[in-house]
Structure 1
């Protein structure tokens, strides 16, 4: 995968970079979907991670790409931690609307804060990696490599977590919360941990997106951005980790070519594509190679 990026055209490496970074954000949603809830505020985590990385770069002079990516994840985790115990009590539309409300409050604050660039946001320069300055012609490949490596590591860790006892408890919560409590499990604890892990994935993905784009703005936290991540999660299904990144890549490809050939109706093309997947693959792309419960 990394070797392909060395020879691939710049537009393709950028597309895969964005797909892998956005896939990280959607991976957090899939972790929550395994417990039966869907957050509509993952854009908030994307924005927090992105702004944290950009501010550390511009204000603190910390330019290491790996450190910024990890720092974005940690900052999103710290912000999400106080809300996680509260949100773990809610399900269905209530959980979705509360996470959406948090995301839109964040969007409103970012729009009004002139010190953060207001509605225009602000730029950041070229990052370094492990102390080495990156030449202009190789920045794209280095960010591609870093994003793919981090996405692969997080995907493997997610697979291990999903197959662990706590990860299987999350699936049990999806099926029957009351039975989980009777068996000695803690539903609230499981959902709290899942929300915090989703925040870390979202923050790391946000930092990687910002470093690849070189720009950050409040729309990262807007509800339509969160909707795109939900789109990817539904497209992938909750059974497979790899399917999340496949779905994210499919979204980027469909969006890129649709906006190029149908600039005024590319959202319609995305909607039709999602309807097609829901109709013929109701459990998501992952159901093509994963065998899961019938429900």
Structure 2
């Protein structure tokens, strides 16, 4: 599956972009911009997971379930086991969300369209209600996350950013390798005609289940990295329905033509929200919504379609 993966144009562009981002944000740009890049890359993992589902005509309105579950898994492991190592935190978040996604996948893989979307939202709101009422988890106030370490050494913000970038590169390269595989090519086939895929001898439900678990793992990893970046987890910022809405918003805004698109879209969203808060704190939501409407009207393929037109970057080359 990984054979020749580093010869893939999308992977090369991704790696160059991420390394350039690290260098520019660390040595040229101010700290607050580096924080925005960090948050954007972390959230971009969840968008990458949604993009994977989107390619199968599945829209999840409840992906904050895994985003928040991964974040709270990090918080609980710190509280009860004292785990602060960033490698363990990321692994715990991914595994915890993946296990939850595996269990719920048996239910969700049977549904399509609005039923899939609303059922995923319902599961997310169940978790939100439990977390908001659980006093040992801080209720609506949430829990604090101590600074991350690596092999016992406390990480500065800059080194945390480097490691988050490394995790993002590994995850995105793995997804590209998956999309190049036989199972990955089923994504387009399922989108076109599920019945024909069944006649070819593949199980559509199993294929969707696998994609759903991968998507849950990515969202959980995103939540774990965001918790480590923010130093705080709470139900409203991690699990609430508006978080799921933001993830879907960014997915639409980004486009799904390339593995780099979710991260570019997530970073742009962070800056739009930051400047909207600064310039119009009472109307920031209207500015963000207006941005989405403009992109839908003028660039239905999202931000990535703009990049394709400007750089003549062919979509067919990206998904081979």
CA shift at 1:6, angstroms?
2.6
Corresponding position: 1:104 with 2:122: no
Unaligned runs of 5+ in 2: 1-18
CA shift at 1:225, angstroms?
0.3
Among 247, 268, 271, which residue is 2:265 paired with? 247
Q: Equivalents in 1 of 2:251, 2:314: separation in Å?
A: 15
Would the aligned equivalents of 1:236 and 1:247 in 2 still touch at CA under 8 Å? Answer: yes
Partner residue in 2 for 1:30:
51
CA shift at 1:142, angstroms?
1.6
Corresponding position: 1:291 with 2:315: yes
Partner residue in 2 for 1:232:
250
Q: TM-score, normalised by structure 2?
A: 0.88
Partner residue in 1 for 2:87:
66
Q: Equivalents in 1 of 2:61, 2:76: separation in Å?
A: 25
CA shift at 1:166, angstroms?
0.6
Among 279, 285, 294, which residue is 1:276 paired with? 294
Would the aligned equivalents of 1:53 and 1:68 in 2 still touch at CA under 8 Å? Answer: yes
Q: Equivalents in 1 of 2:158, 2:275: separation in Å?
A: 22
Q: Root-mean-square deviation (CA), in Å?
A: 1.3
CA deviation string 1:19-59 (max 9, x = no partner) = 00000011110000011101011111111100011111122
Would the aligned equivalents of 1:239 and 1:290 in 2 still touch at CA under 8 Å? Answer: no
Corresponding position: 1:167 with 2:184: yes
Among 141, 159, 164, which residue is 2:158 paired with? 141
Partner residue in 1 for 2:170:
153
Partner residue in 2 for 1:49:
70
Would the aligned equivalents of 2:258 and 2:315 in 1 still touch at CA under 8 Å? Answer: no
CA shift at 1:127, angstroms?
1.4
Q: Bigger shift: 125-134 or 215-224?
A: 125-134
Q: TM-score, normalised by structure 1?
A: 0.95
Among 115, 125, 134, which residue is 1:113 paired with? 134
CA shift at 1:162, angstroms?
1.3
Q: Bigger shift: 250-259 or 142-151?
A: 142-151
